[in-house]
């Protein structure tokens, strides 16, 4: 009781403090303060430039972390909701999905009118800590610097679940007014975590639900995983032609990628794995991949149409059980066209990548897309087809516990995506995939499905505020597959029901409510392999689902400050059944989490 009183006392003090200090803090509401520069900025293009104020919504802050289906941050995750979009052709190394790995596509690059910074801190049960910092600033109008840092740590509810995440990104743009311009990017991802192999039985018994989870025995006691994924890029552009309607440019660049995967275990003979091939004293499986690309690009702009032709050479060296060198020569073409007619506006384009020579010769990727806006309505459509070689890991693996060598055929995928949205209130989208020669894992070993695999996903997003105070925000998935070579919940729902209002003379925007997350049907799960980070389907049936995870929260915004306090998984131990999406890997117990985000303007 006294703990709850103390929390309310601190919360009241927090609100009182900030409502009195906010008058001294600048909060810029200029809708054009933030701009995302066009990818063809060196052609003086503004048609693809996006004016978008940075997201300050109260709910988005507390939901800014991924949902971990295995209950542990910083680890590889099962792709139950088809969030991994791997359109890369050429050499792909690992078949692993890490939502905590940030890619260049995930980063927002801004061109701003002045300095901006945002600092965020989140703390929770079991030493959970997240810190994020974002800075961006112009320098004499022609230069812009962006910087992002994330650091997260957690010990977990069960034994040997300690994990740490570090993401760092920095970007520099020189928007030259004359002929020269330049941009450079550096992205570093460091993940490190313990592997416990899950609890020793498939799931918890009723009596175990009420135990201290650190007393539950786990399968691995000294295994750790390290995964690094880094990207560096430098591009220089030279524009020629003084005509503002017809512009041309030549670009040269260099891109470097490094991927490090390391699994260690001081007790490989614990009995968790069926085989020990290399060392009975210590497992030390390590893969290190270095990739360099050298692009040369010609771009031109005519009115509202932009075209680009690129050749680049790719060199990839993989250090594993022995060194492997792979080389490819790419040809890439892109077109973009923007239009406006009466009250309609939008853009369309095409993209083609083709490997003309090299290790993965004849791999290709082709995409056609279109976006149309009419008043508050918008539609998106995309059709793509691509042929990929299997990943290095799917074809070859040589480690202490698993060895395989395959010669799988190329994978042919066709996709269709369509969405229809009305403002921010409702969005309905459909994605369909047909995959020939799909590579999957069955009982920890790779297999190839030579028939056509069809996967359909419908997604309905709602965001309404009724009677000015009652909010509903939901995200519903319906998924269907033609074969049991992947694991998908057929129905999955994430919904918020909350109250929104303005308190303290309209200075405090409040959102308080309840969140519901659940797979609405039972479905066959994946199983996880700590040594390879692979999620594989099982020959035996093991089902989960239909467990309602309920969270209760109070959140708010006071000008540039967002904050929240929430309790997750309120039903833990009350409904008499364990909560899991994988055998052996239980989801966290009831947990408290709170956070604060503060924005600073020049």
Can you tell me which residue has the tokens 């929104």? 500
Angstrom distance (rounded) from CA 120 to CA 580? 29
Q: Of 301, 291, 292, which is closest to residue 237 (Cα–Cα)?
A: 301
3-state secondary structure of 336: strand
Q: Of 316, 344, 345, 346, which is closest to residue 329 (Cα–Cα)?
A: 316
pLDDT tens profile 227-253: 999 999 999 999 987 766 788 999 999
Specify the pTM.
0.91
| Cβ partners under 8 Å of residue 149, min gap 6 | 131, 132, 133, 134, 166, 167, 168, 169
Cβ–Cβ under 8 Å, residues 413 and 390 = no
pLDDT of residue 27: 55
**Residues in the chain with pLDDT values less than 70:** 1-31, 53-57, 243-244, 576
3-state secondary structure of 553: strand
pLDDT of residue 56: 64
**How many other C-beta atoms are found inside a 10 Å radius of the C-beta of residue 551?**
19
| Cβ partners under 8 Å of residue 248, min gap 6 | 239, 240, 241, 298, 299, 300, 301
**How many other C-beta atoms are found inside a 10 Å radius of the C-beta of residue 418?**
15
pLDDT of residue 342: 86
Cβ–Cβ under 8 Å, residues 560 and 596 = no
Can you tell me which residue has the tokens 């810029």? 28
Complete domains list, the chain, with CATH: 2-601 (2.40.170.20)
Tell the burial category of 570 from Cβ atoms under 10 Å away from its Cβ (0-12, 13-18, 19+): middle
Q: What angle do CA 88, 94, 99 make, to 5 degrees?
A: 80
pLDDT of residue 10: 47
Q: Of 248, 69, 243, 225, which is closest to residue 162 (Cα–Cα)?
A: 225
Helices (H), ranges, 362-502? 392-395
Distances in Å between the Cα of 496 and the Cα atoms of 9, 429, 469, 474 are: 26, 20, 13, 6
Angstrom distance (rounded) from CA 130 to CA 120? 8
Cβ–Cβ under 8 Å, residues 346 and 370 = yes
| Cβ partners under 8 Å of residue 505, min gap 6 | none
Helix (H) or strand (E) holding 62: helix 58-62
Angstrom distance (rounded) from CA 278 to CA 316? 26
pLDDT of residue 29: 61
Angstrom distance (rounded) from CA 162 to CA 74? 9
3-state secondary structure of 590: coil
pLDDT of residue 322: 85
DSSP string, 148-192: EEEEEEE--SSTT--EEEEEEEEEEEE--SSSEEEEEEEEEEEEE
Q: Of 297, 481, 382, which is closest to residue 85 (Cα–Cα)?
A: 382
pLDDT of residue 303: 86
3-state secondary structure of 136: strand
Angstrom distance (rounded) from CA 82 to CA 481? 12
């Amino acid at each position: 009781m006294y703990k709850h009183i103390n929390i309310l006392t601190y919360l009241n003090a927090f609100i009182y403090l900030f409502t009195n200090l906010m008058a001294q803090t600048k909060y810029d509401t200029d809708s054009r303060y933030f701009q995302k520069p066009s990818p063809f900025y060196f052609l003086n293009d503004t048609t693809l430039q996006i004016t978008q104020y940075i997201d300050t919504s109260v709910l988005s802050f507390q939901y800014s972390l991924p949902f971990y289906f295995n209950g542990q941050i910083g680890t590889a995750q099962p792709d139950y909701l088809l969030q991994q979009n791997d359109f890369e052709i050429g050499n792909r190394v690992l078949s692993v999905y890490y939502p905590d790995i940030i890619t260049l596509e995930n980063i927002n690059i801004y061109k701003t009118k002045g300095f901006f910074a945002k600092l965020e801190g989140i703390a929770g049960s079991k030493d959970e800590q997240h810190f994020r910092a974002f800075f961006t600033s112009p320098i004499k109008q022609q230069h812009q610097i962006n910087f992002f840092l994330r650091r997260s740590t957690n010990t977990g509810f069960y034994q040997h679940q300690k994990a740490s995440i570090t993401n760092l990104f920095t970007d520099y743009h020189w928007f030259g007014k004359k002929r020269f311009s330049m941009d450079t990017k550096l992205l570093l991802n460091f993940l490190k975590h313990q592997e416990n192999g899950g609890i020793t039985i498939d799931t918890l018994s009723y009596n175990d639900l009420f135990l201290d989870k650190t007393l539950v025995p786990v399968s691995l006691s000294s295994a750790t995983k390290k995964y690094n994924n880094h990207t560096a890029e430098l591009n220089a552009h030279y524009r020629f032609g003084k005509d503002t309607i017809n512009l041309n440019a030549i670009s040269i660049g260099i891109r470097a990628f490094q991927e490090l995967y390391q699994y260690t275990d001081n007790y490989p003979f614990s009995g968790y794995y069926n085989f020990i091939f290399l060392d009975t004293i210590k497992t030390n499986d390590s893969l290190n991949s270095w990739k360099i690309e050298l692009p040369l690009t010609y771009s031109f702009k005519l009115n509202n149409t932009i075209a680009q032709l690129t050749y680049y050479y790719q060199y990839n060296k993989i250090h594993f059980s022995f060194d492997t060198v792979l080389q490819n020569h790419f040809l890439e073409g892109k077109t973009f066209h923007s239009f406006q007619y009466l009250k309609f506006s939008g853009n369309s384009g095409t993209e083609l990548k083709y490997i003309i020579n090299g290790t993965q010769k004849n791999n290709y990727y082709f995409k056609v897309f279109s976006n149309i806006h009419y008043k508050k309505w918008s539609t998106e459509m995309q059709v793509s087809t691509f042929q990929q070689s299997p990943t290095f890991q799917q074809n070859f693996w040589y480690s202490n516990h698993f060895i395989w060598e395959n010669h799988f055929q190329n994978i042919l995928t066709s996709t269709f995506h369509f969405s229809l949205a009305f403002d921010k209130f409702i969005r309905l989208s459909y994605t369909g995939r047909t995959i020939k020669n799909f590579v999957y894992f069955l009982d920890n070993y790779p297999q190839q499905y030579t028939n056509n695999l069809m996967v359909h996903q419908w997604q309905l997003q709602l965001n309404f505020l009724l009677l000015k105070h009652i909010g509903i925000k939901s995200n519903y998935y319906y998924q269907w597959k033609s074969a049991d070579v992947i694991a998908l919940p057929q129905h999955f729902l994430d919904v918020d029901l909350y109250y929104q209002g303005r308190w303290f003379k309209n200075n405090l925007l409040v959102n308080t409510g309840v969140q519901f997350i659940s797979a609405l049907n039972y479905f066959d799960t994946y199983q996880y392999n700590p040594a390879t980070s692979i999620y594989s389907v099982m020959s035996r049936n093991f089902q989960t689902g239909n467990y309602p995870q309920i969270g209760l929260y109070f959140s708010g915004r006071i000008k540039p400050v967002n904050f929240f306090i929430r309790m997750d998984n309120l039903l833990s131990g009350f409904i008499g059944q364990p909560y899991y999406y994988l055998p052996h890997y239980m989801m966290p117990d009831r947990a408290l989490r709170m956070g604060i985000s503060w924005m600073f303007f020049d």
